[in-house]
Structure 1
Amino acid sequence: MNSQTQSVRDYLTDLQDRITSTVAMVDGGRFVVDRWKKPAGERLQGQGITQILEDGQVFERAGCGFSHVSGPSLPPSATQHRPELSGAPFEAMGVSLVFHPRNPYVPTVHMNVRMIAATPAGGETVCWFGGGMDLTPYYGFDEDCAHFHTTCKGALDPFGVDKYPRFKKWCDEYFYLKHRDEQRGIGGVFFDDFSELGFDGSFAMMASVGDAFLDAYLPIVDRRKNTPYGERERSFQLYRRGRYVEFNLVWDRGTHFGLQSGGRSESILLSMPPLVSWAYNRQTKKGTPEDRLYRHFLVRREWV
């Protein structure tokens, strides 16, 4: 492991610990720590740390995983924008989290920061970064959306005022359920295959996004976690969680990368909610908060 790779790994493991220790205090529960290593002889080699809190007071399921793996050739999901690296040996590391709250008025959140390094035959190692965060409310509030997006913008502005609008648009386009013509949530920021600031600048930008996560999300949790709710809100939350499952299994490149490359499925699928429901052609009544979610929040719009 070279010094650059080690510096990214050190940052990522520290980020995971900072996030899980803070969220554990907010919830009052405890993250179970599962350290794993791929068995010798498998196509993909590596190790990771999966931390997961289940059946908490605030979070029904909160998973935050670190992984560092290497393999003999990049899978198709990683080379669709870099065909010159097809078949190159690689290593990938990242922190990925999805938190599913208990209260339907608290939004689900996703965050991921990662680096991939590949070495083509006869060439130099190429590193690129990716990441972002996005928010998926069940009952939307304008002030929550504005806070989340403002925090994302603040994390990116030091690296160029073009970054937030560019990555916000990318997020809107990425977290979109094509088969339903529907946004997954209210977005945030997303970037991938990023190396244009050089290694140091690109790493710093990725780290700035990771460091902004708690500031972006926890104030929203604090505002909404004690909001009274009943069976109606719970039923709608479980139904909307179905969309989350559909996106992650059908469209998410990170899930595809992990499964295609022979990753650890138990850790890759930590994003799945503990309970979910589907209903055939469920409709919302006009003028209800549920209807407003579709009309006002699950549309591409500017929040800052």
Structure 2
Amino acid sequence: MTDTFDTQKQQASDWFRQLRDEIVSAFHALEDRHVSDAPAGRMEVRKTTRTADDGSDAGGGEMSVMRGGRVFEKVGVNISTVYGTLGERAQTAMAARKGIPGMKDDPRFWASGISLVAHMQNPHAPAVHMNTRMFWTPHAWWFGGGADLNPCIEYDEDTAHFHSEMQAACDPHGATLYSELKKWADEYFYIPHRKRARGVGGIFYDDRNTGDWDADFQLTQDVGKAFLPAFLPLIDKRRDTPWDEADKDTQLRHRGLYAEYNLVYDRGTKFGLETGHDPDAVLMSLPPMAKWY
């Protein structure tokens, strides 16, 4: 069984890297085809590391971040594969959330995934988030992920397109799956202290273990593959839309909501910081500029 899990973990980790490479290539192409006097943006790649409490290697990954591009004001596409033992706080949180027995006796874990957040130059072009991941302990494994759109200036047709691509990814896996994951996203990406959603939603899932690893991994791949068809047409449509300072002000205030959510509520942010991952990689999702009243 250990050999099987090792093979599966390698498959998942390889897939997240492949998806990262495809997305980075597509984003570079988008920068190239946007007409501007500014130079086309390119990702800067930096390795990240995670060190265990005893100083031993505990995995890491790569940050791919572009700042000040023609189209992207800031975009990050991170991959990571980390492992080790969960600290007491993380053990308690994971056991409560996942209902996993035996965490106290054997707190080993392994996690791999891709995380993407894009903040755009043009206020009419929506920000976006996407991630997919696999988590393993000796007691269980599961997948999670999803994507959600975060426009500061909303267009109904853009929202409809994004959701249609997410539904197309879900439909082969069950007639009701899209509606279930959409509802999950609506509830998860909600900011209680603002009494509003942070964007126009998408899909979200976590703790997914149907007992069929191949099927759950296939769903995760389909969600990842749906991202570019869901997002790129919206940016090609909006990247040349004229905007003014009022539009930029609207964008910066909406980014404030995004920052609040990620710092206060996001599970990934909390998990990354609690398990000692590179804080720059964990906080990559934060916008380069934001504004509050």
- TM-score w.r.t. the length of structure 1 is 0.87
Deviates more, 1:42-51 or 1:160-169: 42-51
Q: Are 1:24 and 2:28 counterparts?
A: yes
Alignment of 1:153-232 (within 5 A): 153-196=167-210, 198-232=212-246
Q: Residue by residue, what CA displacement relative to the aligned partner does 1:40-93 show, whole Å, maximum 9, x if unpaired?
A: 644771020110000001000000100100121272443313242534210001
- The alpha-carbon deviation at position 24 of structure 1 amounts to 1.3
Residue 119 of structure 1 aligns with which residue?
138
RMSD: 1.5
The amino acid across from 1:84 in the alignment is: P
- Contact 1:44/1:263 (8 A) holds in 2: no
The runs of 4+ residues in structure 1 deviating greater than 6 Å are none
- Give the Cα separation in 1 of the matches to 2:99 and 2:84: 17
Name structure 1 gaps, 5 residues minimum. Answer: 121-125, 280-304
Name structure 2 gaps, 5 residues minimum. Answer: 32-39
Q: Residue by residue, what CA displacement relative to the aligned partner does 1:236-268 show, whole Å, maximum 9, x if unpaired?
A: 110110000000000000101101111110100
Secondary structure of the residue that 1:86 maps to in structure 2? coil
Q: Residue by residue, what CA displacement relative to the aligned partner does 1:108-133 show, whole Å, maximum 9, x if unpaired?
A: 1000000000014xxxxx21000000
Residue 272 of structure 1 aligns with which residue?
286
Alignment of 1:1-304 (within 5 A): 2-27=6-31, 28-39=40-51, 41-42=54-55, 45-73=58-86, 75=90, 76-79=92-95, 80-87=97-104, 88-120=107-139, 126-196=140-210, 198-279=212-293
| Aligned residue-pair number | 274
The amino acid across from 1:234 in the alignment is: K
- TM-score w.r.t. the length of structure 2 is 0.90
- Give the Cα separation in 2 of the matches to 1:197 and 1:38: 30
- Give the Cα separation in 1 of the matches to 2:143 and 2:102: 15
- Give the Cα separation in 1 of the matches to 2:177 and 2:94: 22
Q: Residue by residue, what CA displacement relative to the aligned partner does 1:137-156 show, whole Å, maximum 9, x if unpaired?
A: 11111110000000000001
- Contact 2:61/2:78 (8 A) holds in 1: yes
Q: Residue by residue, what CA displacement relative to the aligned partner does 1:195-250 show, whole Å, maximum 9, x if unpaired?
A: 11511000000000001100000000001010000110001110110000000000
- Give the Cα separation in 2 of the matches to 1:210 and 1:106: 21
Residue 297 of structure 1 aligns with which residue?
none
Secondary structure of the residue that 2:202 maps to in structure 1? strand
